[in-house]
Amino acid sequence: MGEKRPITLIVPFPAGGPSDALARAVAQGMSIPLQQPIVVENIGGASGTIGLTKLARSAPDGYTFGFGTVGTHVANAALYRKLPYDPLADFEPIGLAGTAPTMLVARPSLPASSLPDFVAYAVANRAKATYGSAGVGSISHFACVILLSALKQNITHVPYRGVAPAINDLMGGHIDVMCDQSTTALLQVTGGKIKALAVLTDQRLAQVPDVATAASFGYGDVNIRSWNALFAPRDTPVPIVGRLNDALRAAVADADLRRRMQAVGVDLPAPDHLTPRAVTELIALGLERDVPALRARGEYRLKGAA
């Protein structure tokens, strides 16, 4: 990183999504202490595996790093029989960039206003009840599979190509529910276009304080957050990882960035979560706890090698 040439940040999703928005905000903030421009390169496809594979194979010189998520590092390990990268061994974690709580949201006409109401509806309408997602292996799919497993319910999955068409069909009443990130759900909930049945974490959201948590209804094990972290390729020297970590800390400490992210439901990490070890622990926990739960569900079918 001695040369003052641009640094590439790989985002393994198309432009315009919640991870892309956070990545661009963080990249802008990091470029200031690094005194180098950071260029965001969106490489979507195959649930993020194409972009992550390119990152894993990049030179470990500090000029390429990337965004990874609970989807790319945990859910994909359940979705694919053989990933082209190892979620733990092929990357050097830099630090956590942000987390977003997930919410169970419903079409406006659904005869349910809480998580217990939804369970009763699912039991009574098992043959026709549906949940949508942004696609097989997406965060919204991952979250609903984990939730339905905890609720011991089986309803039909309707995958879409992205979160926007799924939300549109939810607003139109064509599907019953979604497990969506607060980053995309909050605007529609506060605008009255969909309704929130529960926050799928152990804390209520300040933006919708009247929406109860899953834990408050007796589902204490349901704590589903979408996390985003920064990674460098394996064997990137420790001093370079440290320099990128310092820049990340400076970016997320910015008061304006924190306000902007909080407004859309993103929680920027506290200092003790901004370590490479914290990211490794998140991945290890997901691989141990969530991957078996995902594979136990019939609708989370394994694909061939990515």
Residue 146, token pair as written in the block: 């984990």
Same-domain check for residues 114 and 209: yes
Alpha-carbon distance of 116 to 214, in angstroms, equals 9
Alpha-carbon distance of 244 to 276, in angstroms, equals 11
Same-domain check for residues 169 and 66: no
What pLDDT shows up at residue 304? Answer: 61
Specify the length of the chain in residues.
Answer: 306
Considering the domain boundaries, does residue 231 fall inside one? yes
Say if residue 36 is exposed, middle or buried (CB neighbours under 10 Å; 0-12, 13-18, 19+): middle
Considering the domain boundaries, does residue 106 fall inside one? yes
Residue 303, token pair as written in the block: 């694909």
Q: CATH number, domain at 120?
A: 3.40.190.10
What pLDDT shows up at residue 164? Answer: 85
Same-domain check for residues 106 and 119: yes
Same-domain check for residues 112 and 209: yes
User: Does pTM surpass 0.85?
Assistant: yes
Q: Domain span at residue 272?
A: 7-99+225-296
What pLDDT shows up at residue 233? Answer: 98
Residue 227 near residue 96, CB atoms below 8 Å = yes
Number of domains composing the chain: 2
Considering the domain boundaries, does residue 306 fall inside one? no
Considering the domain boundaries, does residue 304 fall inside one? no
- Boundary-marking domain end, from 217, 233, 262: 217
What pLDDT shows up at residue 270? Answer: 86
What pLDDT shows up at residue 299? Answer: 58
Same-domain check for residues 153 and 125: yes
Same-domain check for residues 172 and 141: yes
H or E element at residue 62: none
Same-domain check for residues 135 and 275: no
Same-domain check for residues 105 and 212: yes
Q: CATH number, domain at 20?
A: 3.40.190.150
Considering the domain boundaries, does residue 12 fall inside one? yes
No. of H helices and E strands in the chain?
A: 11, 9
Residue 30 near residue 61, CB atoms below 8 Å = no
Could you list the mean pLDDT of each consecutive 10-residue stretch along the chain, which spans 306 residues? Answer: 84 86 94 96 91 97 96 90 94 95 96 96 96 87 91 93 90 97 89 96 89 92 90 98 97 91 84 92 91 74 58
CA gyration radius for the chain?
Answer: 19
Considering the domain boundaries, does residue 17 fall inside one? yes
Alpha-carbon distance of 62 to 12, in angstroms, equals 18
Say if residue 103 is exposed, middle or buried (CB neighbours under 10 Å; 0-12, 13-18, 19+): buried
Same-domain check for residues 209 and 248: no
Same-domain check for residues 36 and 62: yes
Same-domain check for residues 92 and 179: no
- Boundary-marking domain end, from 172, 188, 217: 217
Considering the domain boundaries, does residue 188 fall inside one? yes
DSSP 8-state symbol, 285:
H
Same-domain check for residues 78 and 107: no
Considering the domain boundaries, does residue 302 fall inside one? no
